[in-house]
Amino acid sequence: MVFFAPGPVTAQVTAFKQAVSEAASRDKDIAAFYQSNGYKPVWTGAGEADRARRAELIRAIESAASHGLPVARYDPAGLLATLRAVRSPRDRGLAEVEMSRVFLQYARDIQTGILIPKRIDPRIVRDIPYRDRTAYLTGLVNAKPASFFRSLPPHSLEYNALLKEKMAMERLLSQGGWGPVVPAKSLEPGDQGNAVVALRNRLIAMDYMSRSNSMTYDPALTDAVQQFQIAHGLNADGKAGAETMKQINIGVEQRLQSVMVALERERWFNTERGKRHILVNIPDFTAKVVDDGVVTFRTRSVVGANTSDRPTPEFSDVMEFMVVNPSWYVPRSIVTKEYLPALKRNPNAARHIEITDSRGRKVNRGAVNFSQYSARNFPFSMRQPPSRGNALGLVKFMFPNKHNIYLHDTPSKSLFARDVRAFSHGCIRLADPFDFAYALLAAQTSDPEGEFKSVLGTGREQRINLVDPVPVHIIYRTAVTNARGHTEYRADVYGRDARIWDALSKAGVAMGGVQG
């Protein structure tokens, strides 16, 4: 590549600097960087460092698809053509700035994602850890190019596992996937026929069982179905019911989409999670305590229903305390949308909940004409006192946030037996709240169960502070990695991943391994 035109060196340098200044003026960060470094070249110089940076940038953007990024966004062929067309100092200055522009685009994309989450779904309210763009350029100049480029993607075990799964899914897709779907809505042990053979063949292709020619739903097939159910967050009863069959019949292409969406989500979440943290995965319907990267406690959860304003939002915060024997202060939306219409029909509706005035005093229902009020002017609040029948159960776990989301107990235990557990108003209900409390308190007391139960036994509403507040991350992953490093899949309960994939596709992201 020719980067210097014949002529006086001083004139060349001046023309180069003028071109850089002119081209960089369209981007304040690039302009600030070149102004601070005296308009020296970073990419187009003749030195070894410049050549190494050029080579690493071209290599990175040419292989961007391996990370699920849109190669066309960086146009490596066009960038190379620009470099090859340099014939003057001005050309070189323009190429210099163009390489910086492409580099900054790639660096931000691979580190913190190509999409803006809130534009996809307003309930994805995660704060993205964007870096200072000028720091990318100064960091590159002060580091070995190859090492710097390797430092850009997330370094979490999850991200690396997803990259491996992406390669595996693309290879499977190029080979035709898992074969024909099972032509049955449900099957169970003892059944016979072609549909059973199709189920067996599909589970063999998925590597859940060894080869067999049996046409009967036998113990080996039952065990394979159970293993599939465990890996997909379903009740492991060994019966291929409607939900299990739906998941079995999902093809490789859709699973690959889940992996590529998860890679983008991991880039959004490219930040320190906390040595100890709480992880709630909405589609997995679980809440976990993670210590030093190891899950030390896990319980089933119920999340927000997929209707209206109930879906649980995605965000991170810090858990500060728990409330034992909590009162339920009914959210205004529930008061006006659910209870006020019932009170208009019958003033004695929902007698288990107190009606209170602006000063917290209990209101005599018989003295109120509820029919005169609307959602806009209803002047009262509602509160359910502590009890075993309280909507929050006997304990709630607080990480105060503007979304009014928290974790809590519930008297409605039957819902935890379902495959799909999206029923709440948005908060997260726990199947084992006491054990969750013990796990949290174990970090600050030698007798977590005893101390918790002593407070519980009073029947009074009391707060227990966490000496060391714990980060809480509410995430949404339909492709997740288990403790053995294998990728498992979950249903897209809110349809968020489908919308993200649509946005990724429109941005130019494409699946590898597609046949034809």
Cβ neighbours of residue 360 under 8 Å, at least 6 residues apart? 381
Encode pLDDT of 100-129 as tens digits: 999 999 999 999 999 999 999 999 999 999
Mean pLDDT of 392-412: 96
Regarding beta strands 479-481 and 487-489, do their DSSP bridges make them parallel or antiparallel, or are they unpaired?
antiparallel
Encode pLDDT of 469-500 as tens digits: 999 999 999 999 988 888 999 999 999 999 99
Mean pLDDT of 15-38: 95
282 vs 492: CA distance, rounded Å: 9
Q: Does residue 516 have a pLDDT over 50? A: no
Structure tokens at 136: 């990318």
Check if the beta carbon of residue 509 is closer than 8 Å to that of residue 69: yes
Q: Does residue 505 have a pLDDT over 50? A: yes
81 vs 359: CA distance, rounded Å: 73
Q: Does residue 361 have a pLDDT over 80? A: yes
Q: Does residue 205 have a pLDDT over 60? A: yes
Helix segments in 395-464, DSSP class H: 433-441, 448-456
Higher pLDDT, 5 or 463: 463
Residue 314 pairs in a beta bridge with 124
Cα 229 to Cα 199, 341, 414, 416, 508: the distances in Å are 14, 42, 20, 16, 34
* pLDDT at residue 483 in the model: 83
pLDDT band at residue 8 under the 50/70/90 scheme? low
307 vs 43: CA distance, rounded Å: 52
Q: Among residues 410, 416, 414, 422, which one has the least CA distance to residue 282? A: 422
* pLDDT at residue 212 in the model: 84
Q: Does residue 341 have a pLDDT over 50? A: yes
326 vs 493: CA distance, rounded Å: 30
Q: Does residue 227 have a pLDDT over 70? A: yes
pLDDT band at residue 512 under the 50/70/90 scheme? confident
Encode pLDDT of 138-171 as tens digits: 999 999 999 999 999 999 999 999 999 999 999 9
Check if the beta carbon of residue 420 is closer than 8 Å to that of residue 444: no
* pLDDT at residue 11 in the model: 64
* pLDDT at residue 84 in the model: 95
Cα 16 to Cα 11, 82, 363, 505, 516: the distances in Å are 8, 15, 79, 38, 47
Q: Which segment of 7-11, 233-237, 388-392, 421-425 scores lowest on mean pLDDT? A: 7-11
* pLDDT at residue 360 in the model: 87
* pLDDT at residue 51 in the model: 95
Mean pLDDT of 251-264: 97
303 vs 233: CA distance, rounded Å: 15
Q: Among residues 328, 326, 325, which one has the least CA distance to residue 454? A: 325
